[in-house]
Structure 1
Amino acid sequence: MTEVVFAEGWDAPLKQTAAPLEWTNLLALKAAADEYYAQNGALLTPTRANLYRALELTSFAATKVVILGQDPYPDANKATGLAFSVGQNENWRRDSLAAIADLVERNESGTLNSGDLTSWAQQGVLLLNTRLNHRNAAVDQHTQVVDRTLNWPLLTRLILQALNQRTEPVIFVLWGNDALTLEKYLHNPQHLIIRASHPSQMSRRRPLHKGKVKAFDRSQTFRKIDAWLAQQQQEPIIWTN
């Protein structure tokens, strides 16, 4: 039986997309992540069990929408392995997720009743962070510093490149400058790219690149997704959770 490296259904397209040295480096990344968590698990978020959860819940073949985040939450009770999702945390209406919930409602796409976005992932929304781990705020003092120990951008890039090569159309949602830097890997015309500023409190009302990229609050992201899926005659995403 072949061992699953990252997640069932993802290993084959990743290996096919990667150059031989890149695949070797991906295997080294997996091994390094295993060792890093074995030695420092209490200092890291999300838990090791949730590290590849985005890929486990949304397969390569099932991916219809990619929403690209940045880093996992540094709080262990919020980091779920899904970008922007905070699970069943009672205080979920904060910062980025609050802005996302507001936009879903204003776009007449539904209502978020919790901060758990698992149902989105199960419907084909890949909630992918560009880096898959952070430091645990409860036990680590340097939580504001991005943890660059592991080469997660290699995995993120290859995921996007693999999806870019798919013949089935995908919607790529790029919120914020970090996500926008990865647009260069998305060049096939059958896909849709939605650009906006990041939904954080500091950025949600601020357009980017001299107004060429809309502010998150005015991006109509969910209305655009709904319309495009209908145009492609695909099943809609039920955003209400």
Structure 2
Amino acid sequence: MGPVHTSDPPDSDALFELEPSPAEAVGFAELALRPLPDLVAPDWAEALVPVEGQLRDVLAFLGREVAEGHAILPQPSNVLRAFRQPLSAVRILIVGQDPYPTPGHAVGLSFAVDGATRPIPRSLANIYKELDADLGLPPRVHGDLSRWADQGVLLLNKVLSVRAGEAGSHRNKGWEAITAAAISAVANRVRADGTPAPLVAILWGKDAGAVQPLLGSTPVIASAHPSPLSAARGFFGSRPFSHANRLLREQGDGTVDWELPPLP
């Protein structure tokens, strides 16, 4: 696939908008049979064609996991949530590892949790502490990061599912090839004049840092992970949010308003 151009407006009517009640939610096995444009935004569907087979295989694997009695997170309607926003709208890439394994937490966006979750995960609490120190924005009691996603912040885990209560259980099951293709697609976008589309990558921790070879010339902000085990070893004080805005401005793409609403 060649570079993805960002000059054409997205067809928002075609976005994957599965937001049913839990009783009406489709299963992973059914998702595996749906056309790719029904699962993700149209330009993401084009970008992910080279790994469509792998995506269907992973979704079918999740269907088998459920059939065997395993609880899988996030729910089917959110497993591809990171790809609902158009590829053409991505301005910031924040890479995570895999979903939170605590039931009710994972929502399909890296580091985010359901808006009703209390308390929020400690890594996210540390992200809020750094946001306050960097930009003076008060920490929130909720973990709904959808306002960031709405502004073109792609919150992408390298692995998009997990067994409940079993952290890392879906690593090396096929997701890595899909998310690597997605990261490459983001980094290879060009504008109509042939220049690179604006993008800044934020990579926290060694696992996220491993994707840097996929990013080409994309400006990268790298530091320690915000986990309580490592945040004091380089995450605190790294000022990723102001640095990202400065790099966006240098690329002529304005800034992200990182402030979240007091309540979701």
**Structure 2 CA distance for partners of 1:103 and 1:14, relative to 1, 3 Å:** same
C-alpha distance after superposition, 1:15-48 (max 9, x if no partner): 2xx3xxx543344334434x23652576111111
Aligned equivalents of 2:104, 2:145: Cα separation in 1: 15
Aligned equivalents of 1:154, 1:111: Cα separation in 2: 37
Structure 1 residue runs of 5 or longer lacking an equivalent are 138-142, 207-214
1:156 aligns with 2:175: no
Aligned equivalents of 2:136, 2:173: Cα separation in 1: 37
Q: Indicate which of 123, 128, 131 corresponds to 2:159.
A: 131
Question: 1:146 Cα deviation (Å)?
Answer: 2.7
Question: 1:233 Cα deviation (Å)?
Answer: 2.9
C-alpha distance after superposition, 1:159-193 (max 9, x if no partner): 01111211202111111111111111111x2x211
Q: Indicate which of 122, 130, 138 corresponds to 2:150.
A: 122
The equivalences for 1:10-159 within 5 A come to 10-15=44-49, 18=50, 22-33=51-62, 35-36=63-64, 38-39=66-67, 43-56=71-84, 58-108=85-135, 110-113=137-140, 114-137=142-165, 143-148=166-171, 150-159=173-182
**Structure 2 CA distance for partners of 1:227 and 1:145, relative to 1, 3 Å:** closer
Percent same amino acid among aligned pairs?
29
Equivalent residues of 2:82, 2:155 under 8 A apart = yes
Secondary structure of the residue that 1:98 maps to in structure 2?
helix
Give, as a single letter, the amino acid of the residue that structure 2 aligns with 1:203: S
The equivalences for 1:217-236 within 5 A come to 217-236=236-255
Aligned equivalents of 1:169, 1:238: Cα separation in 2: 16
Structure 2 residue runs of 5 or longer lacking an equivalent are 1-13, 15-34, 191-196
**Structure 2 CA distance for partners of 1:41 and 1:227, relative to 1, 3 Å:** farther
**Structure 2 CA distance for partners of 1:83 and 1:98, relative to 1, 3 Å:** same
- Aligned-residue RMSD, C-alpha: 2.2
Aligned partner of 2:26 in structure 1 is: none
Question: 1:106 Cα deviation (Å)?
Answer: 0.8
Secondary structure of the residue that 2:88 maps to in structure 1?
coil
Equivalent residues of 2:98, 2:168 under 8 A apart = no
Return the TM-score normalized by structure 1.
0.82
Question: 1:76 Cα deviation (Å)?
Answer: 1.9
Aligned equivalents of 1:128, 1:40: Cα separation in 2: 27
Equivalent residues of 1:86, 1:92 under 8 A apart = no
Secondary structure of the residue that 2:123 maps to in structure 1?
helix
Return the TM-score normalized by structure 2.
0.75
Secondary structure of the residue that 1:205 maps to in structure 2?
helix
**Structure 2 CA distance for partners of 1:30 and 1:119, relative to 1, 3 Å:** same
Equivalent residues of 2:111, 2:124 under 8 A apart = yes
Question: 1:6 Cα deviation (Å)?
Answer: 4.0
Equivalent residues of 2:54, 2:174 under 8 A apart = no
Count of matched residue positions in the alignment of Structure 1 and Structure 2: 219
Q: Indicate which of 203, 217, 222 corresponds to 2:230.
A: 203
Equivalent residues of 2:90, 2:199 under 8 A apart = yes
Equivalent residues of 1:109, 1:239 under 8 A apart = no
Aligned partner of 1:7 in structure 2 is: 40
Aligned equivalents of 1:126, 1:41: Cα separation in 2: 31
Question: 1:95 Cα deviation (Å)?
Answer: 1.2
**Structure 2 CA distance for partners of 1:121 and 1:5, relative to 1, 3 Å:** same
**Structure 2 CA distance for partners of 1:196 and 1:7, relative to 1, 3 Å:** same
C-alpha distance after superposition, 1:82-122 (max 9, x if no partner): 11111213424441001100111111163343211011111
**Structure 2 CA distance for partners of 1:44 and 1:29, relative to 1, 3 Å:** closer
Secondary structure of the residue that 1:36 maps to in structure 2?
helix
